[in-house]
Amino acid sequence: MSKVPTITLNNGVEMPQIGYGVWQVPDGEAATAVATAIEAGYRSIDTAAIYENERGTGKGLTASDVARDELFVTTKLWNSASETWTRESVLREFDASLDKLGLDYVDLYLIHWPRAMRDDYLTIYRTFVEIAASGRAKAIGVSNFQPEQLERVIAETSVVPAVNQIELHPNFAQAELRALHARHGIVTEAWSPLGQGRGLLEDPTLARIAAKHGKTAAQIVLRWHVELGNVAIPKSVTPSRIRENIDVFDFALDADDLAAIAGLDNGTRLGPDPAEFDFN
Ligand code: NAD
């Protein structure tokens, strides 16, 4: 049994608070990586069409002896060609993802980037609502959406996204979006939750808190996400780190720890700014 607690999404679906992200895992290695993660106790896997490893991810899922209804699988609709999305092209992309994963439903389907300059995310989202109604996605949400885009999909469709998956780590804590999510009942899911393992994990403040709890800096950061109420999807292909990143449920941060980590927020974004990102 997995010890990872779940968060209840706004439609009643349960989502594990720590999942395993497979960005940059080659398709040929994804099955082994996913199987290792499931063996370690992960039940939630985060992939995307653009990661080009949905096939390998699917193989890892079916190779495990964990029942499908105990697993939580997320994939994402890529920005794709310069075409404007239509209902038909969204449905086609969704079918292609299901086919590669070898699944008849996903637990969560996300719009990967809003590309607000193209103004077609409402068409995409309305089709997602249709997909959810068919039961082929248990929940739908968005990724990299900014406040105005969230407010617009809610106003136009009355269907509140279950999740907004955004860059979030102690150096980029996203207070404004987190507050907006809380007001609307949207779960905040953190991508690059470890700050991509770059300088953040060598930070002396995190080292001090890690020593105090007998944990690693990565575990302190992941515990911080859990206590904030975020979902986090750390990535590693190293089996010992895969296990380490889920071993964060036997200790708690205190108020001093949380205040010190809050002091690390310096507005450093590692990924693209969603306001400008239109990658095809
Ligand atoms: P991350 O913050 O999870 O960092 C991963 C890196 O940190 C690893 O490659 C490794 O170098 C290091 N690391 C991992 N565990 C460690 C440990 N215990 N100790 C020391 N170093 C460790 O960054 P990420 O891979 O960018 O993000 C995680 C997941 O988020 C991705 O796999 C993907 O699923 C998702 N993601 C989504 C978007 C989006 O636009 N929606 C963008 C980027 C990533």
Residue of 196, 198, 247 to test ligand 1 pocket, by largest number of atoms within 8 Å of CB: 196
Residues 160-200 have pLDDT tens digits of 999 999 999 999 999 999 999 999 999 999 999 999 998 99
Ligand 1 touching residue 193 (CB < 6 A)? yes
Could you give the CA distance from residue 77 to residue 143 in angstroms, rounded to a whole number? Answer: 10
CB 41 within 8 A of CB 247: no
Q: Which CATH superfamily is domain 13-200+229-250 in?
A: NADP-dependent oxidoreductase domain (3.20.20.100)
Please say if the pLDDT value at position 2 is more than 90.
no
| Nearest alpha carbon, ligand 1 atom 27 | 192
Gap from CA of 263 to ligand 1 centroid (Å): 22
Residue of 53, 109, 194, 223 to test ligand 1 pocket, by largest number of atoms within 8 Å of CB: 194
Ligand 1 touching residue 110 (CB < 6 A)? no
The per-residue pLDDT for 278 is 84
Gap from CA of 135 to ligand 1 centroid (Å): 30
Give me the mean pLDDT over the 47-64 stretch. Answer: 97
Share of the chain above pLDDT 90, in %: 94
| Nearest alpha carbon, ligand 1 atom 7 | 197
The per-residue pLDDT for 232 is 98
| Nearest alpha carbon, ligand 1 atom 13 | 197
Gap from CA of 234 to ligand 1 centroid (Å): 5
For the whole prediction, is pTM greater than 0.75? yes
Share of the chain above pLDDT 70, in %: 98
Number of the ligand 1 atom closest to the C-alpha atom of 190 = 30
Averaged pLDDT of the chain = 96
CB 214 within 8 A of CB 2: no
Q: Tokens 């060609």 map to which residue?
A: 81
Catalytic residues: 51
The per-residue pLDDT for 240 is 97
Please say if the pLDDT value at position 124 is more than 80.
yes
Could you give the CA distance from residue 25 to residue 53 in angstroms, rounded to a whole number? Answer: 7
Residue of 42, 174, 191 to test ligand 1 pocket, by largest number of atoms within 8 Å of CB: 191
Ligand 1 touching residue 196 (CB < 6 A)? yes
Residues 128-156 have pLDDT tens digits of 999 999 999 999 999 999 999 999 999 99
The residue ranges of DSSP E strands in the chain, in sequence order, are 6-8, 14-16, 20-21, 44-46, 72-77, 106-111, 137-143, 163-167, 187-191, 231-232
Per-residue tokens: 126: 């309305």
Residues 66-88 have pLDDT tens digits of 999 999 999 999 988 657 899 99
**Residue 242 phi, psi (nearest 5):** -60, -45
Q: Are strands 137-143 and 163-167 parallel, antiparallel or unpaired?
A: parallel
Q: Which residues contact 213 (CB under 8 A, 6 or more apart)?
A: 219, 220, 251, 253
| Nearest alpha carbon, ligand 1 atom 37 | 191
Q: Where are the domains of the chain?
A: 13-200+229-250
Give me the mean pLDDT over the 236-262 stretch. Answer: 97
